[in-house]
Amino acid sequence: MSSQELEIQDRYDRMNQVVQAHVEGLTETQIAKRLGFKRAEVVGFLDEYKEYAKDNKMLQDRAFEVVHDYDQGQNRVISEAWELHSEAKDAGDMKLQATIQKNIADMQSKRVEVLQKVGMYAAMDMGDQIAEQEEKIQILMQLLKEIKEEHPEVAIKIAKALTKVSGEPETVMVHDV
């Protein structure tokens, strides 16, 4: 291979690294830090890739596969988390249950964010999935609020997590002992 061909190959390898990190949900700044690139270089690679990809059916299909694989992986992780939650419930470990529920809510929220970022929710059938995920997040948040009220020993930790997820301050009732 000539030096010019190696330079082209290196450029596409670097672009692929940037695009992969972008699909994972990282920001341009996070990608630059992870890969040791300048942020402007990351932005340039993403712009170049988007321009190239918008007319390339093969790339669109591959992007769909990558996102689909990510989504399926998230399904597996969330299912395993629910299994751990059941085990914690059977053991009567309310703290662990609350932690797992918070983690599940965070994972589902991140998943929605990543899928939105790559434009997956443009498809009509995805609208139902968004509504379902949002409903599950609301159920989890309500359950965490109930646990917070019933178990003051974890109330502050749960309140902080709920505030982080919802972006709205969560109150904690202080009970005199």
pLDDT digits (tens, 9 = 90+) for 37-78: 999 999 998 888 877 777 777 777 777 787 788 888 888 998
> Interior CA angle at 97 toward 94 and 100, to 5°?
150
Q: Any idea what DSSP says for residue 25?
A: T
Give the ranges where the chain is alpha helix by DSSP (H).
3-23, 28-35, 39-53, 57-91, 94-117, 124-150, 155-166
**SS3 of 168, please?**
coil
Indicate yes or no: pTM above 0.75: no
Higher pLDDT among residues 126 and 109, named by residue? 109
Give the confidence band of 124 by pLDDT, cuts at 50, 70, 90.
Answer: very low
Phi-psi region of 151 (alpha: psi -120 to 50; beta: other; left: phi over 0): beta
> What is the distance, to the nearest Å, from the Cα of residue 20 to the centroid of all Cα atoms in its chain?
14
Does pLDDT of 118 surpass 70? no
> Interior CA angle at 74 toward 72 and 75, to 5°?
60
Higher pLDDT among residues 136 and 81, named by residue? 81
Closest to 22 (Cα-Cα) out of 12, 10, 34, 11: 34
| Distance, CA of 69 to CA of 145 (rounded, Å) | 33
**SS3 of 55, please?**
coil
Does pLDDT of 12 surpass 90? no
At 35 the pLDDT is 93
Average pLDDT over residues 167-172: 76
Confirm if 93 and 82 have CB atoms less than 8 A apart: no
Does pLDDT of 141 surpass 90? no
